[in-house]
Amino acid sequence: MRDLFIDHSIAKLRQYEKRIVACLDQLSFEQIWWREADTQNSIGNLVLHLSGNVRQWIISGVGNRPDVRERDKEFSARESVSAGELKALLSDTLDEAVPVLERLSAEQLVEVRTIQGYDKSVLEAVYQVVEHFSHHAGQILYATKLLTGNDLGFYRHLNQPAHSEKTP
C-alpha cells in the first residue's frame, strides 16, 4: 500500500509539473505575470507558490530540513522571474522532494509532524501537497487557455477511436 501511495503521489506531481511547463512554454513573459487585479495571482506567482509549498511541506516538514520559506514573497513578486527560471525552480524543488518521498517507510507515514502550524501525519502532508499542486496546476492550465485561446491537448488521446483488435 505504501508503494502505491508514494509512487502515485510522485507520478501526479511530475504529471502536473509537465503540464505547467507546457503552459509556460506557450506564454510570453507578460502573460506569465499578467493579473487582472492586484488581488489576483499571476501564473508566475502560482509557480513560486507551488515551489514554496512543496519545499515547506515535503522537503522541510517531512524531510526534516530547515524551513526557509518566505510565503508572502511568492505572492508579492511582480514580473521578476523568467519562464526558464520558473521551470528550473519547479523542477529543482521536485527533484529535491521526490527522494524524500521515496525514502519514506510505511511506519513514517503515520508519524505526526507540525507543518505550517498544523499537526498532520506524513501521509496527510503528502496528500495535502498533491491536492494543493493539483488545484493550482488547474488554475495555471485554465489561465493559459484564456490567455492563448489554445487547446492544451492533454486529453487528445481520448478522442482516438478504440482499438478494434480483440484480446486473445
**Does 46 reside within a domain?**
yes
Q: What is the pLDDT of residues 119-142, one digit of tens each?
A: 999 999 999 999 999 999 999 999
Residue 163 predicted with pLDDT over 70 = no
Task: Provide the pLDDT for residue 158.
Answer: 86
Domain presence at residue 166:
no
165 is a domain residue: no
Residue 82 lies in a domain: yes
CA atoms of 133 and 66, how far apart (whole Å): 21
- For residue 19, give the CATH number of its domain: 1.20.120.450
What SS3 class is residue 153?
A: coil
Grade residue 165 by pLDDT with cuts at 50, 70 and 90.
Answer: low
Is position 121 within any domain? Answer: yes
Number of domains in the chain: 1
User: Does residue 168 lie within any of the structural domains?
Assistant: no
Question: What is the predicted pLDDT for the residue at 86?
Answer: 98
Three-state DSSP state, 107:
coil
Q: Is the pLDDT of residue 43 over 70?
A: yes
pLDDT digits (tens, 9 = 90+) for 136-161: 999 999 999 999 999 998 988 888 87
**Can you list the alpha helix ranges (DSSP code H) found in the chain?**
2-26, 29-32, 43-54, 71-76, 83-102, 122-148
Domain that holds residue 43: 2-159
Q: pTM for the full model? A: 0.92
Residue-wise pLDDT for 77-116, tens only, equals 998 899 999 999 999 999 999 999 999 999 999 999 999 9
**Residues facing residue 112 across a β-bridge:** 121
In a domain, 167, yes or no: no
pLDDT at 46: 98
pLDDT score at 155? 87
Answer whether residue 24 shows pLDDT above 60.
yes
Question: Cα(98)–Cα(127) distance, rounded to whole angstroms?
Answer: 14
As a whole number, the mean pLDDT across the chain is 94
164 in a structural domain: no
